[in-house]
């Protein structure tokens, strides 16, 4: 890959190893929406709320659950249970497409909301199949902005490894005044409808991340935990270091070494990158 000089961004970088953020699900591990890229696979690795409430003492939780057919995650239905065990704990909520009434409830306990932001109707139909549109994602994001701190997440290559609406998403988020953006990268997952697909090309991902840094020079940009491993991860992580990303979750050792070589001021985090 062609070498680039560091872009004009912060020389500080945070490497996050989020072992102190517990993934907690409020629903069963069975997902009604059964999205093409996930198929409920990742829910099985989250601790049930009832179990976590009595046995976990982590300082923060990533709270999610299975999607309903309309694209929402019913976190608000568990407001009382979550409030009862908050006790200073910070919550990063993954809530999907929720309405105003749900947002009012979520605002009572949320320290942050992670919101999957999609800006291509064809991708929405193919991946989620819930009948919602880009307008629904924009409307929900705006409603969340008014009540809670919300960090939009862009999955690069969500459409089975294709770049299909990610640049449009960034343009929309500029107009909407995003205060931070987290990027993840599509990973083919066994047992899903996209199991036989490939991740987007490394160069295409690097170009998108560079575009984001150039167009969002003054807000935090995060490279989140979901991305392919091996050489792919190493190259993407090093690229994120070069262009001045603010944080990388579980970075490849080569990326840490590069940050040290470039003279970056490095800090270490042990919780979710948006907290």
For the beta sheet containing 247-249, the strands, ordered from the edge strand earlier in sequence to the opposite edge, are 47-48, 21-25, 60-64, 90-94, 112-116, 150-156, 181-185, 221-223, 247-249, 12-16, 265-269
- Looking at the chain, the whole-number percentage of residues with pLDDT higher than 70 is 96
| pLDDT reported for residue 7 | 55
> For the residues 224-246, what does the mean pLDDT come to?
97
151-164 tens-digit pLDDT:
999 999 999 999 99
Position 198 pLDDT exceeds 70? yes
> For the residues 44-48, what does the mean pLDDT come to?
94
| pLDDT reported for residue 32 | 87
* Residue 25: closest CA among 2, 70, 1, 56: 56
Mean pLDDT, the chain, integer: 95
> For the residues 182-201, what does the mean pLDDT come to?
96
18-32 tens-digit pLDDT:
999 999 999 999 988
pLDDT tier for residue 2 given thresholds of 50, 70 and 90: very low
pLDDT tier for residue 10 given thresholds of 50, 70 and 90: low
Length of the chain equals 275
| pLDDT reported for residue 40 | 85
Q: Are 38 and 195 in contact (CB under 8 A)?
A: no
| pLDDT reported for residue 41 | 87
56-108 tens-digit pLDDT:
999 999 999 999 999 999 999 999 999 999 999 999 999 999 999 999 999 99
Position 5 pLDDT exceeds 50? no
| pLDDT reported for residue 115 | 98
Cα dihedral 140/188/15/262 (nearest 10): -110
Position 123 pLDDT exceeds 60? yes
> For the residues 184-188, what does the mean pLDDT come to?
97
**Domain-wise residue ranges, the chain:** 12-269
**β 247-249/265-269 pair status:** unpaired
> For the residues 29-41, what does the mean pLDDT come to?
89
- Looking at the chain, the whole-number percentage of residues with pLDDT higher than 90 is 92
| pLDDT reported for residue 265 | 96
CATH of 12-269, one of 3.40.50.150, 3.40.1350.10, 3.50.50.60, 3.20.20.70: 3.20.20.70
pLDDT tier for residue 1 given thresholds of 50, 70 and 90: very low
What residues are paired with 116 via a beta bridge?
Answer: 153
């Amino acid at each position: 890959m062609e070498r680039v000089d560091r872009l004009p961004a912060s020389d500080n970088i945070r490497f996050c190893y989020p072992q102190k953020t517990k993934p907690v699900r409020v629903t069963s591990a069975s997902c009604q929406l059964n999205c093409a890229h996930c198929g409920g696979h990742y829910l099985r690795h989250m601790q049930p709320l009832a179990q976590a409430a009595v046995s976990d003492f982590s300082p923060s939780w990533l709270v999610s659950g299975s999607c309903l057919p309309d694209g929402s995650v019913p976190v608000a239905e568990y407001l009382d249970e979550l409030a009862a065990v908050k006790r200073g704990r910070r919550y990063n909520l993954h809530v999907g497409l929720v309405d105003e009434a749900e947002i009012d409830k979520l605002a009572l306990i949320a320290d942050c909301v992670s919101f999957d932001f999609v800006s291509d109707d064809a991708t929405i139909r193919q991946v989620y199949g819930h009948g919602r549109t880009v307008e629904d994602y924009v409307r929900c994001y705006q409603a969340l902005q008014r009540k809670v701190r919300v960090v939009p997440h862009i999955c690069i290559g969500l459409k089975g490894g294709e770049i299909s609406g990610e640049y449009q998403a960034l343009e929309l988020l500029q107009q909407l005044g995003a205060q931070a953006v987290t990027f993840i990268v599509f990973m083919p997952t066994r047992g899903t409808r996209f199991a036989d697909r490939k991740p987007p090309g490394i160069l295409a991902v690097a170009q998108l991340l560079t575009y984001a840094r150039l167009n969002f020079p003054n807000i935090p940009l995060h490279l989140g935990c979901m991305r392919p491993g091996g050489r792919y991860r190493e190259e993407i992580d090093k690229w994120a270091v070069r262009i001045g990303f603010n944080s990388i979750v579980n970075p490849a050792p080569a990326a840490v070494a590069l940050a040290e070589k470039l003279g970056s001021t490095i800090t270490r985090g042990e919780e979710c990158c948006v907290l």
